[in-house]
Amino acid sequence: MSLVVVGSVALDSVETPFGKAEEALGGSATYFSTAASYFTDVKLVAVVGKDFPERHIRFLKRMGIDIRGLQKADGRTFRWKGKYDFDLNQAHTLDTQLNVFASFRPVLPEEYREAEYVFLANIDPELQLEVLGQIRKPRLVACDTMNFWIERKSRKLKETLKYVDILTINEAEARELSGDSNLVKAARRILSFGPRAIIVKRGEYGALMFSDSSVFAAPAYPIESVFDPTGAGDSFAGGFMGHLARVKSINDRSIRQAIIFGSVMASFDVEDFSLNRMKRLTSRAIEGRFREFKKLTHFEDLKS
């Protein structure tokens, strides 16, 4: 079942207390599609500049990602520079250069338009809407965003949310988007913008899903060696959507499993810089960690 993603493909410069990476492969759509490629076919929509290294294109192809929707434009590739302090839950953006994304007009290849699963990864909400408008009959639309867009394009973002089934967003951004500091109230307010469910990502504290009818809490996998949290949110979304597209059913059971697969992919992502850990995974390792999550959260009911 095919899955289309639009989002950034980037060159990231990242500093954490444990090291740094200069101009490494990154971007919301890159992390998403790499994670999702372990579950299903992924079709990528994005733009890079003429300076984008060929080896990264070869990497995406090697992961089996369909890059017919990845345009190469005159100009420089999107760049993001970020820093994390010892509190790895909070990214500090030092610089964002939209470059070729500033004038990007996505035109989806014909084969992309029949996709049933769509992920609008973190990027300008105008682009998210443009891509969504070209997909004929999406079955499930999920979306992510960040403070950069909440602050600059709030009206467009709220328009996009009317067409979105599930929003994934991190804790601070949920508060910012809703204007409410209590997470439960923030989630309720965001649901009133359109989505049927919202998944709040809480870094090392896991994720919470709110819908009108239920709340589900997933822990994060306890990891001793967290090197670089960049892309954890997008990897989460990749595991989440990848699983749903793979099992072809959307119900409470598959959504809960998908949240755990999302948490599994995020936990692998943070173990190394850029996509270094994620690019050398196996289905066996992914399923093994899924089972570890089951053990981590299992407890017996009271005897009646």
The residue with its CB nearest to ligand AMP is 26
12 near ligand AMP (CB under 6 A): yes
Which member of 231, 239, 242, 262 binds ligand AMP (CB under 6 A)? 231
> To the nearest whole angstrom, how small is the minimum distance from the Cβ of residue 55 to ligand AMP?
17
> To the nearest whole angstrom, how small is the minimum distance from the Cβ of residue 221 to ligand AMP?
16
> To the nearest whole angstrom, how small is the minimum distance from the Cβ of residue 98 to ligand AMP?
8
In the three-class reduction of DSSP (H, G, I as helix; E, B as strand; rest coil), residue 251 is classed as coil
Which member of 45, 48, 88, 232 binds ligand AMP (CB under 6 A)? 232
- Please identify, using beta-carbon distances, which residue of 116 and 160 lies nearer to ligand AMP: 160
Phi, psi of 172 (to 5 degrees): -65, -35
* DSSP result, 263-284: HHHHHHHTTSSTTTTGGG--HH
Rounded CA-CA distance 120/105 in Å is 15
Phi, psi of 188 (to 5 degrees): -60, -45
According to DSSP, residue 101 is labeled G
Which member of 125, 233, 239, 262 binds ligand AMP (CB under 6 A)? 233
- Pull the structure tokens for residue 245: 């597209």
Describe the crossing of helices 252-269 and 283-297 by its angle, rounded to 10 degrees.
110
- Pull the structure tokens for residue 233: 């949110």
230 near ligand AMP (CB under 6 A): yes
Cβ density class 50-89: b for 16+ within 10 Å, e for less: eebeeebeebbeebebbbebbeebebbbbbbbbebeeebb
148 near ligand AMP (CB under 6 A): yes
122 near ligand AMP (CB under 6 A): yes
Which member of 123, 218, 260, 264 binds ligand AMP (CB under 6 A)? 123
Which member of 3, 10, 46, 264 binds ligand AMP (CB under 6 A)? 10
99 near ligand AMP (CB under 6 A): no
**Per-position x/- string for 276-295, each x denoting binding to ligand AMP as judged by CB under 6 A, each - no binding:** --------------------
Binding segment for ligand AMP (CB under 6 A), chosen from 24-32, 46-54, 56-64, 247-255, is 24-32
- Please identify, using beta-carbon distances, which residue of 13 and 211 lies nearer to ligand AMP: 13
Helix (H) or strand (E) holding 159: helix 154-161
Which member of 96, 97, 134, 254 binds ligand AMP (CB under 6 A)? 96
How many beta carbons lie within 10 A of that of residue 200, not counting itself? Answer: 25
Q: Are 174 and 186 in contact, with CB atoms under 8 Å apart?
A: yes
239 near ligand AMP (CB under 6 A): no
> To the nearest whole angstrom, how small is the minimum distance from the Cβ of residue 144 to ligand AMP?
8
**What is the distance, to the nearest Å, from the Cα of residue 152 to the centroid of all Cα atoms in its chain?**
20
171 near ligand AMP (CB under 6 A): no
**What is the distance, to the nearest Å, from the Cα of residue 198 to the centroid of all Cα atoms in its chain?**
13
First to last CA, the chain: 44
Q: Are 29 and 9 in contact, with CB atoms under 8 Å apart?
A: yes
- Please identify, using beta-carbon distances, which residue of 195 and 262 lies nearer to ligand AMP: 262
- Please identify, using beta-carbon distances, which residue of 139 and 153 lies nearer to ligand AMP: 153
> Would you tell me which residues interact with ligand AMP (CB under 6 A)?
8, 10, 12, 26-28, 31, 80, 96, 122-123, 146, 148, 230-234
